[in-house]
Amino acid sequence: MAQVRQISPFRYPGGKTWLVPVAREWLTLAGRPSILLEPFAGGGVIGLTAAAEGLADHVVMVELDEDVAAVWHVVLEGSDRDAAELCDLITDFEVTLDNVRAVIDASPPNSVAKAFRTIVKNRCQRGGILAPGAGLVKTGENGRGLASRWYPATLAKRIEATRGFKDRVSFVQGDGFEAIKKYEGAAMFVDPPYTAGGKRAGSRLYLHNEIDHAHLFELVAEYAGAALLTYDDAPEVRELADKHGFLVGNVAMKSTHHAVMRELTIFKD
């Protein structure tokens, strides 16, 4: 697999860093579209990569979750001052159990504090899970385990790097289904919450996880220009792809637990 530069400040459950080489090739073959829509953005790896590398003229990222949106609002749409304040909060934070609990339990007074709280949750909750009920990473000796995924300088660098190409990215907090209709003709990278067979259902990973997949395929068929969808390999998904004449590929990837898993890549011309 080609080298992939980590670009997102999130470590996202279901994040698609492993798919970057495929998405690069897809966007190049699609002729570097003028608009790439990512209607279920999450950690936004593919959209950010496309914007950073000029694989699309403009990227629109859409996400419903307000905690996730808080980060993208500051990083992509916020003032330089707010972005710098977020980076300062990250670099000045001392990761102790008490401090982490205090941030997570507090009601943030403004948008920067809310973005910071999301980043603390994403780094310190097990699996990067932001949905309610997620536990903390095992705290280990003297709470040191908590700091195991807190790389403040790296996070600040990724945020600053993203600010460098933010003019080529728009972020919208909203419904991906509506966005697909609104951006008719755009290229679309579609990675909705889904886990084959309902086990480890998206509900554990994401607050917003109820998706009508049949309807989603219909909208993509009707409104997308070129599209790339990713799904767990499941008969239901293959049937939907067949029904709309989409091309189905199969990518082997390693899960965080090093089990080989199969994910489908589904293409609409």
Mask for 143-182, x = binds ligand SAM (CB under 6 A): --------------------------------xxx-----
Instruction: Kindly state whether residue 9 participates in binding ligand SAM, applying the rule CB under 6 A.
Output: no
Contact pick of 72, 150, 206, 246 for ligand SAM (by CB under 6 A): 206
Nearer to ligand SAM, 65 or 85 (CB): 65
Nearer to ligand SAM, 70 or 85 (CB): 70
| CA distance readout (Å), 60 to 41, 48, 56, 174, 182 | 9, 10, 10, 12, 11
Between 47 and 78, CB nearer to ligand SAM: 47
Residues 26-55 binding ligand SAM (CB under 6 A) are 39-40, 42-45
- Tell me the closest approach of the beta carbon of residue 118 to ligand SAM, in angstroms: 12
**Residue 12 contacts ligand SAM per CB under 6 A:** yes
Span from 74-82, 142-150, 186-194, 217-225 in contact with ligand SAM (CB under 6 A): 186-194
Q: Which residues bind ligand SAM (CB under 6 A)?
A: 12, 14-16, 39-40, 42-45, 62-65, 68, 175-177, 191-193, 206, 208, 211
